[in-house]
Amino acid sequence: MNIAQYLLARLQEQGVDHVFGIPGDFILPFFQEMVDSGVDHIAACNELNAGYAADGYARLKGLGAAAVTYGPGSFSIVNAVAGAYAESVPLLVISGGPDTNAYRNQPVLHHTLPKKYDASLKIFSQITAYSALLDDPQQAPAQIDEALRVCLSQSKPVFLEIPVDVQTHACQEPAPLQKLAPLQDEVALASALSDILVRVRKGGRTVIVPGHEVHREGLQDRVLTLLDKTGMAAASMFIGKADFMEQHAQCIGAYQGAGSLPEVRDYLEGADTVLFLGVVLSDFNLGGFTAKLDPDQVVSALDGQVESSSGSYADVPLSDLIDGLIDLLPAGEPDAAAPRQQFSHKTAVAFEAVPDAPMTNRRFYDRMAHFLRNGDIVAADAGCAINTTQVQFIGGVSYIASCYWASIGMGFGAAFGACFAAGEGQRVIAIEGDGSFQMSAQELSSMARYDCPAIVFVVNNRGYTAERLIHDGPFNDIAQWRYHQLPAAFGGVGLEVHTEGDLEEALGRAEAHTGPGPLLIEVHVDPWDASEAFILMSETLRK
């Protein structure tokens, strides 16, 4: 076995059957080994999109991988890796490199920066939990194992740069990977649980808010167990939308500060305790910091740290905290006064199309709430992600969006990656704004190449509406593509929607779509047509 084969064996051991990336001369031995392995190379159109695709794959499979060449390849993927770091996605980035002698002598080679062969390692050290140059073949297997242990235990991206000659160097076959247990302080865990228990026993209202870390660690069922036992209300959020509980009787709806429906905002902000489980308390999650929450109300568990006005507790794994809450919190009944499933676009509200009515933003998302079905994988981008926050998901839907790092174009790249993580019969649905779609539209051709029967909605509001609402100007205009005609060049089928009747016809086609390739539906809406939550967030950002 050689080093490249060792790394591929490790990926297969962890359930990774696809590696996204672009070849180049410094990574070609690794790519050749992929050809002869059980891991499929999936070619994106550029390295950035390969990173997005691997991110989307990782969110569904628990680990993703991308392979690029040294220099232009590794630098091109940087933004996608930064997003994975911000949003706690376990992603392995493999970069080729010049041979080991070149690292020592630093000749002026293509793809290199003069006398800065370590530039990529320095950059990736800022956006990964582990980065290493595998320039010693004897140590390379151990470094690969350590990278994977860190990646999986911390749910963060890691970076390995492998010189071209090391990739084919002989090594021993791997023994089963010994994973790292998360750091745990039993005293801190007990103190954090006691803090929360004291608050609950004082009486009053407690609202549970799960976030993106619940998804990364696969804790959805445990959160549902916690709700069922305690009777406490829960809210879904923008970052880490709780797709798994939006049909639960104790789900009050979507919370995003001033961007929330009034019933949800008043109930949550009136609580004695708001328990954030794996939620990043960012401006976007809190409606541009319009959330009216006193520090005494908030208990936040994020990244192994529990914070409250009573204390700070380190090395407390989220899984252990939730298990402890299930064991210690008293059983209770749901609050009859709590709002129930308050979303702007609800599955319980019947939708009846008005065939000749022009398509509007609100009516499109009203209809999407009824189009989704159990098992769907939904990826949304930019402004569409803001709107999708208020779409109530039916049970069994998985959601992907870059709402913290908020890199437009990520959603469509992630939808491409999701096509390879989807199970039998699962639909992949992308909901894109025209501006975000233009960032990574090339992957429509990749979907066609690999016969991915994704359903792609491009909401065409003729530019960057999110930015128009903050500060309008000609810089928010974009090229006007005929999006529904792109499949004629890239592959797949394209449809155009101007009215509610058009949308019904298009959705009829979508219901029956099984390929070959993607189905793209261009949905025309007015450039200034935006949801209330969208407008409120933009007003806050403008100020």
Q: What is the pLDDT of residues 405-457, one digit of tens each?
A: 999 999 999 999 999 999 999 999 999 999 999 999 999 999 999 999 999 99
Locate 486 and state its tokens. Answer: 């792109």
Report the percent of the chain where pLDDT is more than 90: 90
Residue 104's CB is within 10 A of a number of other CB atoms, namely 10
Q: Can you tell me which residue has the tokens 């992630």?
A: 414
Looking from the CA of 495 toward its CB, the CA atoms found within 13 Å total 21
Q: Which residues contact 310 (CB under 8 A, 6 or more apart)?
A: 195, 198
Identify the band that residue 181 occupies on the pLDDT scale cut at 50, 70 and 90.
confident
Question: Which domains does the chain carry?
Answer: 3-168 (3.40.50.970), 186-328 (3.40.50.1220), 361-542 (3.40.50.970)
pLDDT mean over 168-182: 92
CB within 8 A of 527, min separation 6: which ones? 461, 462, 463, 465, 468
Q: Which residues have C-beta within 8 Å of that of residue 263, sequence separation ≥ 6?
A: 252, 253, 339, 342
487-542 per-position pLDDT tens digit: 999 999 999 999 999 999 999 999 999 999 999 999 999 987 877 667 776 776 67
In terms of pTM, does the model score above 0.75? Answer: yes
- pLDDT > 70 fraction of the chain, expressed in percent and rounded: 99
Distance in angstroms (rounded) separating the CA atoms of residues 253 and 344: 9
